[in-house]
Every structure is written in structure tokens, then in C-alpha cells.
Amino acid sequence: MRIAATADLHFTVSRHSVLLEQLNRVRESADVLIIAGDLTGTGLPEEMNVLLNVVVRARVPTIVVLGNHDYESGKKGELVQMMVQAGIKVLDGTAYERDGVGFAGTKGFVGGFGRSVLTAFGEPEIKQFVQASIDEALKLERAMSQLRAPKRVVVLHYSPIAATVQGEPLEIFPFLGTSRLAEVVDRLGADLVVHGHAHHGHCDGRTTGGIPVHNVAITLLQGQDPSAAYRVFDI
């Protein structure tokens, strides 16, 4: 299977023509399109409505997770309903299998990496913050546990490893993802992980267990090739 993956479209109506042209060839390049969060600019249904016109016209099966921008206006439920009605698979602690490949996804959350992971100690606010990170890791675990396909792809918005956020300011690393997600991936196994969110990060990395992780933020891809709207993986 050829998988085209992108993230952080931050779509607004003004980007319609550009994105339409960029995604117009995806059907020739891939069998499936993944959008790893931040589909919209501010999470408005008006943005999603126009974006769906672009994605549906690409005529390729599409799998998405939401990103932080998609939550901004408090319209998550409406956005998800719009995508589902358009035939898009929205993963939120859920899984989907197609042609022998399983896809498990969730948004993920922040919290830091390795020994710098924030722990649930101290004020109630810190404990609530950490619990949100743990909850997303548990959602990923639940999704991956549903897969029975021989090939497994994990779709996240936030990064599970520090390597693919390298290039961002060190001070914001804890807000770009958490290794709690990587722990789940290593324990349950996957062939490929894709994420976004770190616009100026690094394209490639691996979990501690050696599983490939790729940052597919569109700004990062276009930093290497201005005409690129996605990256294609063979699995």
C-alpha cells in the first residue's frame, strides 16, 4: 500500500485554490491519504466545509486525526460529523483496517520526553494536565489493541519522540508531544508512525524500540520542496 501523509494544513478559505492544486495528484501517488491533525485554521465548520470539497475531489480514501487547531472553536463534534458524512475515517482512540493494513490513531497530547516527562505531582492543575496526557496514551493503546491486520500504522498529531521535534526551540519541546505515546507503540508494535504539530522539526526518527516515526507537517515538507503537500510511504 502507498500511503500519502500530511498534517497541519491550517486550512482557511483563502488556501482553497492552492491546496486543491497540491492534492489534485495524490490519487496518482497513493492508495490512502492520511491527514495527521490541524486540518482547519481555527476549528470552524465553515473552514471544514470548504476543505472537504478539496479532500473529496482528491478521490482517495482518507484517514484523519484531529489536532489542537481543530479544537479551538469548541466545534469538535460538528467537524467530526461533517467528515464522517463525507466518507472520511476519523480516528479518536479507534482503529480502521483496509487491504491488510491497520490504522490506529488519536490526537495525542503534550507532556515532554524521556526523563523530562511531567509527572502527576503537586497541584491539582498539574495532575489534571498529566491525566490528559495519560488518557490519550490509553486511547492509543485501545486503538492499537483492536488491530488484527499484519501491517500497522499509527496516526497522531503530537509527536511520540523528541527526535522529530528537533529544530523547534528547546523551551517548547514539552508542548510538542510526549514519550508516553511511544511507550504504547513500542509495547504493541507498529510498522510506521506519522504525526505533525512540530512545524520546524525533523522529518525522521525512531522510537526506543526502533519503530520509524515521521513528522509530516506540511510546512516541514515544503521547506524541502515548496511544491510538496504530502509524503508517500510504501508499506
Contacts made by residues 110-115, CB under 8 angstroms, sequence distance 24+: 110/158, 110/174, 110/175, 110/176, 110/177, 110/178, 111/174, 111/177, 111/178, 111/180, 112/173, 112/174, 112/178, 112/179, 113/161, 113/162, 113/173, 113/174, 113/177, 113/178, 113/179, 114/162, 114/179
* pLDDT score for 32: 97
* pLDDT score for 47: 94
CA 188 to centroid of chain Cα atoms: 18
pLDDT tens for each residue of the chain, 235 residues long: 999 999 999 988 777 888 888 888 899 999 999 999 999 999 999 999 999 999 998 899 999 999 999 999 999 999 999 999 999 999 999 999 999 999 999 999 999 999 999 999 999 999 999 999 999 999 999 999 999 999 999 999 999 999 999 999 999 999 999 999 999 999 999 999 999 999 999 999 999 999 999 999 999 999 989 888 999 999 9
- Print the domain residue range for 154: 2-234
Helix runs in 88-159, H state only: 124-145
How many other C-beta atoms are found inside a 10 Å radius of the C-beta of residue 232? 13
pLDDT tens by residue, 80-106: 999 999 999 999 999 999 999 999 999
pLDDT tens by residue, 2-39: 999 999 999 887 778 888 888 888 999 999 999 999 99
Instruction: Read off the pTM.
Output: 0.96
Please give the Cα distance from 82 to 17 (Å, whole number).
21
* pLDDT score for 6: 97
* pLDDT score for 143: 98
Count of structural domains within the chain: 1
* pLDDT score for 113: 97
- The CATH number given to whatever domain includes residue 144 is 3.60.21.10
* pLDDT score for 28: 92
